[in-house]
Structure 1
Amino acid sequence: MENSVLQVEGLSAAYRKNTVLDDVNFSIEAGTLTGIVGPNGAGKSTLIKSVLNLHPKLTGTVKFFGTDLKAVKKRIGYVPQRGSVDWDFPTNALDVVLMGLYGKIGWLKWPTNRDKQKAMEALEKVGMADYAKRQISQLSGGQQQRVFLARALVQDADLYFMDEPLAGVDAATERAIMTILKELKQAGKTVLVVHHDLQTVTDYFDHVLFLNRTVMAYGKTEEIFTKENIAKTYGGSILGLREENGHVIITRK
């Protein structure tokens, strides 16, 4: 696709010989905000990790901006699951954000004052400037998530991958994060978000990718977020589906 920033073809991956992704195919257009949804164990996090070469692929090809990852790595930002991070590592919030700039300044060089200013601006954007010198282990879950979002923002990437950025955060943090993600989209950036709450999909994302080991459906949220696609993707984990005023109402088991 001419406007594609990410093209995935025939992607398969496994954990301990158990296939978790099978023949995954999709193409993401520039300037979109996509929610990746599916039941537990559907392979959502594995999809992001496999695409970014953080988990080995069994089969398949992935193209970023028409080329391979290595050629465009600086144009890509990644926010991992909060639970996968060692929060006891002795560093403060500012240093975590500065790590997002190491791809540009180099690991063996000291950050300049301008680099530190950029990092502070990113912390300010996520409402964490007052916590710049605070050890990350002393921050709440929502605050930690905001710091990791700031680390991604300081990269000024063109394509962002975010693995459950809203999991376990308070309502204020959730609103703040979604405001920033929508601002990124408005600025022409492309954002893919692993998301767990079906109730907010239509409010948060303009595109949705239903995943259960393979792509069950993908496209514009207003067209794809239907009772049929939800039932096909979640199967028995969904107790009830109904439509009210054009919205899908979901009852989970």
Structure 2
Amino acid sequence: MGEIILQVDNLSASYRKTTVLNNVNFKIRKGSLTGIIGPNGAGKSTLLKTILNLHPALTGSVRFFNQPFQQAKKRIGYVPQRGSVDWDFPTDALDVVTMGLYGKIGWLKRPNRKHKQLAYEALEKMGMADYANRQISQLSGGQQQRVFLARALVQDADFYFMDEPLAGVDAATERAIMNILKELKANGKTVMVVHHDLQTVEDYFDHVLLLNKTLLCHGRTEEIFTKENIAKTYGGNMRWMGENREYAVHSVE
């Protein structure tokens, strides 16, 4: 088993006095690819944001590589939900990816040719090299998601967090993203992904974290992703469609 590189203890968070995370505890080991699964409003995105110090915690502690987030943040990459990004910002795909290097370049310094080459290679890996000079507002949703993933890749982080990277993308983009995530895992990186499609969980993730405002269970997919645990996570919003693992999820915000 790999070393523990993320430890979350008694983590709680709220929005407008409403608790959205309650006493969450788990550990993540190096080299795992974990899907964060739960109904709408379960606190999945809030969990990522609170772990990454983007949303205040009410209680609890988070440690990366046995350090506070501020000391470990250069080793961490984050891909937010596509809907939270201002895609009308006037910049091209290459510049967006180059921004992923600013932690190494320094915000007051200009990227050099080597930095631009690294950014271009990350775009190439995502099949987006031909769009390097295209304004991001002119890209399709799937293309924008590939660019954002390239920005995370160019950081060469040890731990990646991704908030619904497969939402609203075409089948080819979904395959490309999952191939990259599995390659990251094969190279010893650690990845946590907020994911909504129950049909693909077993194919995509070796670990799952089932969340509905609190942690229901966490562990290896073949052990945790069961009919009983899924029903417990989704409650009355989930209907089991048979032993071939088809699900109908009816959840509301």
Give the 3-state SS of the residue equivalent to 1:234 in structure 2: helix
Assess, with a 3 A threshold, how the Cα gap between structure 1 residues 123 and 41 changes in structure 2: closer, same or farther: same
Equivalent residue, structure 1, for 2:248:
251
Q: State yes or no: 1:211 paired with 2:211.
A: yes
Tell me how far 1:241 sits from its aligned partner: 4.4
Give the 3-state SS of the residue equivalent to 2:21 in structure 1: strand
Equivalent residue, structure 1, for 2:116:
116
Q: What are the residue-to-residue correspondences of 1:129-144 with 2, within 5 Å?
A: 129-144=129-144
TM-score for the superposition, normalised by structure 2: 0.97
Equivalent residue, structure 2, for 1:186:
186
CA contact (8 A) 1:164 1:194 kept: yes
Unaligned runs of at least 5 residues, structure 2: none
Tell me how far 1:228 sits from its aligned partner: 0.5
CA contact (8 A) 1:227 1:241 kept: no
Q: State yes or no: 1:147 paired with 2:141.
A: no
Equivalent residue, structure 2, for 1:168:
168
Query: What is the RMSD of the two structures over their aligned residues, measured on CA atoms?
Result: 1.1
Question: Number of aligned pairs?
Answer: 250
What is the identity, as a one-letter code, of the residue corresponding to 1:59?
Answer: T
Q: Percent identity?
A: 74
Equivalent residue, structure 1, for 2:18:
18
Q: What are the residue-to-residue correspondences of 1:6-45 with 2, within 5 Å?
A: 6-45=6-45
Give the 3-state SS of the residue equivalent to 1:188 in structure 2: coil
Equivalent residue, structure 2, for 1:223:
223
| Higher mean C-alpha deviation, range 149-158 or range 231-240 | 231-240
Aligned equivalents of 2:210 and 2:109: distance in 1?
A: 42
Tell me how far 1:136 sits from its aligned partner: 0.3
Aligned equivalents of 1:172 and 1:195: distance in 2?
A: 17
Aligned equivalents of 2:168 and 2:40: distance in 1?
A: 16
Tell me how far 1:114 sits from its aligned partner: 0.6
Unaligned runs of at least 5 residues, structure 1: none
Tell me how far 1:251 sits from its aligned partner: 2.6
Residue-by-residue CA offset, 1:161-214 (whole Å, 9 max, x unaligned): 000000000000000000000000000000000000000000000000000001
Give the 3-state SS of the residue equivalent to 1:243 in structure 2: coil
